[in-house]
Amino acid sequence: MRRRVVIIACLIAVLSVAGMVSSAHTVYRIRPNDTLHDALFVSSPQAVKKLSLGYSGLLANIYWTRVVQYFGGKHQAGAEEYKALAPLLDITVTLDPHLIAAYQFGSIFLAQPPPDGAGDVDAAVNLIKRGIQANPEYWRLYYSLGYLQYEKRDFKAAAEAFDEGSKKPGAHEWMRTMAALMHAQAGDISTARYLWSRIYEETDDKNIKQNAFMRLASLKVDEEVPQLESAISQYQQRTDRWPASWREMISAGFLKSPPIDPAGEMYLLKPEGRVQVANPKLFRFARHGRPKSPEVP
Amino acid sequence: MSGRIPAIAFSTFREAVRDRVLYNLIFFVLLLVASAPIFGQISVGVERIFLVNLGLTAMSIFGIVIAIFIGIGLVSKEIDKKTLYTVLSRPVRRWEFITGKYLGLAGTLVVNTFLMTLGFYAALLFLTRQLGRADANILVAVYFIILQFFIITGITLLFSSFSTPIESAIYALAMFIVGSFAEDLRGFAAMAHGPQAWLARIASYIVPNLSMLNVITRVSHDQIIPASLIGLNTIYAFFYVTIVVSGAVIIFEFRNLK
């Protein structure tokens, strides 16, 4: 008798598990945008801090993790808007004004243009300035500020940030170089290359390293494509027609070999002398060599 | 007198460590500490900070829960089981009984915290592969957590000396919550005028100032805690505990146990 009860109970339990998993799965499917995405349960940073009962450090870490998850989820979905990003970051740094990662990474999340970020450089600058106010001796925040001002093309402010940061304890020597470059030749590709090389060498975070690598590769494309297009233009002037292949350019002595992009693939020769990379997704920061919209992935 | 208080304290300690709930709570803290590296991994750039915050917060909150839920039964259990009458029929004074009970539970909490700290440092070593001088700074936060336990234990004992266990738990929990807002009470007193200002000021001294004993966030960022704060917090906790335990003794002296 007891054995029968146990067997029936096990069967019911197994069937219930299957039913529960299947119903939960259906709920998840019909509600793809769950509450984690754009909901702020408590929107006031001060109220959240009070509710933490003094354990604000742990709550800041939890909010920071929520920022990372929110950003990651939106980024993966190719979102164009990151509505809750700035308020979540505000709560995070109110809870713990010394959480450096929130300023450093948060400013990148805010600044990068959609779909790689919220595209709000001003909000990113404000976040970093807040970080500097709370942690005035931390030189890397000045570096982040300098980079953001550089992105805004405000080279004077960028130079000031790099210069100020170079005076802080432990600051790298190249902070001075960056300040000088901002004064002298801020708009040059060489300056951008120097900046991204420093970021690439400096960071331990694999996402930032990858981003810097893509930026450097895009800069190389920005350097090479205009040179190739100039050579094609010369070819057109000499022969009165556009080249049909790289072979023709090589035969005419304009190139020694087919040009290869930083991803190791041959550049594509397009009509009317335009040059394009084979895989534009890999060079989304490049200003040259990408297909015109709406082809852009 | 000299041998009676330690005897009661030891007996309280022995009774507390027999409680299965205690082990469950310690196990839960250790589980949380062990899971901290996983939480850190789903975040960015805060692995160690997360471990320190989570580990110390868990130790603090669960320690306070232990202090309250064991503390509320210190006196009432003895009355319910009628063992108190056996104890007091011997040459044991009421104040010795209360003091011994307090020291027994305080000792239990110190041993618990020691075990949880060992677990915490093991997790930290696992995460960072080495322990540095900055990691020793965390011990200051652990010390302050122990001071919090001493205060909460004293408060719980005070309430349990005249009320039922449920009431004691509610009052002690309320004191813990209000104590976390002690700084705000001071701020309110500074802004208010007249009797309200006085009331707020008096209340800010009555409730335990637990916020100044919470340096978890600071040590998570390797900020050095000044020796003056360590000294002053120790003195504050000593006097606060003395006041509440004295209060418990006075109430218990006048309590009709028949």
Supply the pLDDT for residue A38. Answer: 62
Residue ranges of A 207-226 with Cβ closer than 8 A to chain B: 207
Q: How much of chain A exceeds pLDDT 70, in percent? A: 92
Domain residue ranges of chain B, discontinuous segments joined by +: 4-254
State the number of CA atoms in the 13 A half-sphere of B112 facing the CB: 36
Expressed in percent and rounded to 5, the helix, strand and coil fractions of chain B are 85, 0, 15
Per-residue pLDDT tens digits for B59-72: 999 899 989 988 89
pLDDT confidence bin for A297, thresholds 50/70/90: very low
Supply the pLDDT for residue B157. Answer: 92
pLDDT confidence bin for B43, thresholds 50/70/90: confident
Closest partner CB to B42 (pick from A69, A100, A105): A69
Residues of A in contact with B62 (CB under 8 A): none
Q: Which of B55, B66, B56, B216 lies closest to B152, judged by CA?
A: B66
- Residues whose CB is less than 8 angstroms from the CB of residue B165 and which lie 6 or more positions away in sequence, other chains included: B72, B73, B76
Supply the pLDDT for residue B175. Answer: 93
pTM value is 0.76
Could you give the ipTM of this predicted complex? 0.79
**What is the rounded distance in angstroms from the CA atom of residue A254 to the CA atom of residue A247?**
10
Cβ–Cβ gap B43/A205 under 8 Å: no
Task: Return the minimum-mean-pLDDT range out of A26-40, A177-191, B97-111, B239-253.
Answer: A26-40
| Phi, psi dihedrals of residue A288, rounded to the nearest 5° | -115, 160
Which residue is closest to A63 within chain B, CA to CA?
B43
Which residue is closest to B38 within chain A, CA to CA?
A65
Asked whether the predicted pLDDT for residue A74 surpasses 60, the reply is yes
Closest partner CB to A57 (pick from B42, B184, B216): B216
In whole angstroms, what separates CA A207 from the centre of its chain? 8
Please return the burial class of A60, using the count of CB atoms within 10 Å of its CB with bins 0-12, 13-18 and 19+. Answer: buried
| Mean pLDDT (whole number) for A107-120 | 89
Token pair, residue B225, equals 């805690």
Closest partner CB to A101 (pick from B42, B46, B181): B46
Distance (Å) from the alpha carbon of B50 to chain A's nearest alpha carbon = 6
Asked whether the predicted pLDDT for residue A35 surpasses 50, the reply is no
Task: Note whether A89 contacts B: Cβ–Cβ < 8 A.
Answer: no
| Mean pLDDT (whole number) for B20-42 | 76
**What is the rounded distance in angstroms from the CA atom of residue A53 to the CA atom of residue B212?**
12
DSSP string, A98-157: T-HHHHHHHHHHHHSPTTSS---HHHHHHHHHHHHHH-TT-HHHHHHHHHHHHHTT-HHH
Residues of A in contact with B52 (CB under 8 A): 57
Domain residue ranges of chain A, discontinuous segments joined by +: 45-211, 223-283
User: At the topology level of CATH, where does A45-211 sit?
Assistant: 1.25.40
Supply the pLDDT for residue B231. Answer: 94
- Residues whose CB is less than 8 angstroms from the CB of residue B33 and which lie 6 or more positions away in sequence, other chains included: B51, B54, B55, B58, B116, B119, B120, B123
Per-residue pLDDT tens digits for B127-160: 888 888 888 999 999 999 999 999 999 999 999 9
Asked whether the predicted pLDDT for residue B208 surpasses 60, the reply is yes
Number of separate helices (H) and strands (E) present in chain A: 12, 2
pLDDT confidence bin for A161, thresholds 50/70/90: very high
